[in-house]
Amino acid sequence: MVYAARLHAKQLRKGTRVPYVAHLLATASIALEHGANEDEAIAALLHDAVEDQGGQKTLAAIRRRFGDVVAEIVMGCTDTDVTPKPPWRARKEAHLRHLRRASRSVRLVAAADKLHNARSIVTDLRERGIAAWERFNAGPEEQLWYYGAMVDTFSRKGPRSIAGELRLVVDEMRRLTQ
């Protein structure tokens, strides 16, 4: 937890004043509530570190500190480790293909991440209305496609316990977007 907090110390949730560590803690909490083991919980805390805080150099540091299992889960949750990031749609399509054949551990952490993100979007939609979508790189139609595809992936491949809840949250996201 301390390592994750240090890595993301200067980062805020996109378009907010919320410290990024809140998302990492929430993701780990959701993963633990759905049966995560210690390696999966550590990976949940670090799931955005490679993508947002240093790429392969950070992955190597995670591997040294926490081992191969944690590093592989973190890498499996990373949709890109290059800067600048590839185009949004292509990156998300590739990540979805990856998740369909990823390990149970990767899918557990990724599903926990997506559930927390979706909950945050629903909260923002309730508070700000459709303007909540302005902070994202893709518009509401693209985001709804992506979250719907995540629901489908997790419903088929697991973790089904999170997929069911994610489906409800994405349905609410759609309702609030109309």
Confidence of residue 11 (pLDDT cuts 50, 70, 90): confident
Question: What total of structural domains would you count in the chain?
Answer: 1
**Can you tell me the distance from the alpha carbon of 145 to that of 147, in angstroms, rounded to the nearest whole number?**
6
In the residue annotation, 152 being an active-site residue is answered as: no
Burial 112-135, CB ≥16 within 10 A → b, else e: bbbbbbbbbbbebbeeeeeebbee
CATH number of domain containing 10: 1.10.3210.10
ω into 86 cis (within 30 of 0): no
* pLDDT for the residue 83: 84
* pLDDT for the residue 14: 82
* pLDDT for the residue 52: 85
* pLDDT for the residue 34: 98
**Percent of the residues in the chain that have a pLDDT greater than 90, as a whole number:** 86
Residue at token pair 């749609």: 89
**Can you tell me the distance from the alpha carbon of 166 to that of 130, in angstroms, rounded to the nearest whole number?**
20
* pLDDT for the residue 49: 95
Cβ of 57: how many Cβ atoms within 10 Å? 11
Give CA 12 to chain center in angstroms: 15
Closest CA to 151 of 90, 122, 91, 110: 110
pLDDT of residue 142 exceeding 90, the answer is yes
Identified catalytic residue from 52, 152, 171, 172: 52
Say how many Å lie between the first and final Cα of the chain, rounded: 38
Of residues 76 and 9, more confidence is placed in 76
* pLDDT for the residue 15: 78
Identified catalytic residue from 39, 48, 51, 113: 51
pLDDT of residue 16 exceeding 90, the answer is no
Segments forming the whole domain that contains residue 110: 2-177
pLDDT tens per residue across span 71-115: 999 999 999 888 888 999 999 999 999 999 999 999 999 999 999
